[in-house]
Copies of this chain bind each other. A is one copy, B any other.
Amino acid sequence: MGNREWGRRTGCISFFPHSLLPTPQSPITMIIGRIIGNVVATRKDPRLEGKKLLLVRPITLTGEDESSYLVAIDTVGAGFREKVLVVSGSSARMADGLKDRPVDAAIVGIIDTVEVTD
């Protein structure tokens, strides 16, 4: 498996004929973030009752904060400053206790380590 060559193949019409610009699509997926705060909303959708709204800042692979933030529902009992795994979109509703609720981001794991073998 480690021997697969990139772009090596016999009989192709044309092969990387010129340098293509480096902008592939980036999917919007599970991210690693750090809990930085919380949001209090007394008046809200009944299906959000009892759910903890946390503020999460995406972090880099070296553990540094990004400038953006997001609001996510905690489903694993995460604490302030902890590194967490956040799932978004319809997948957030698959998290524990969030079925059919109007939430699009959920904390689904507390991260112990991030290994980069790059």
Contact = CB atoms under 8 A, between A and B. Distances in A.
Interface of A: 1-2, 4-9, 12-32, 36-48, 53, 55, 57-64, 66-72, 75-77, 79-83, 85-96, 100-106, 108-118
- Helix, strand, loop or mixed for chain A's interface? loop
A45 to B, nearest CB: 4
A5 to B, nearest CB: 8
Contact of A94 (B13, B72, B101): B101
Nearest to A63: B6
State the number of copies, please. Answer: 5
Given A62-B20, A110-B1, A110-B43, A27 B76 contact: no
A23 B26 CA distance: 11
Nearest to A101: B94
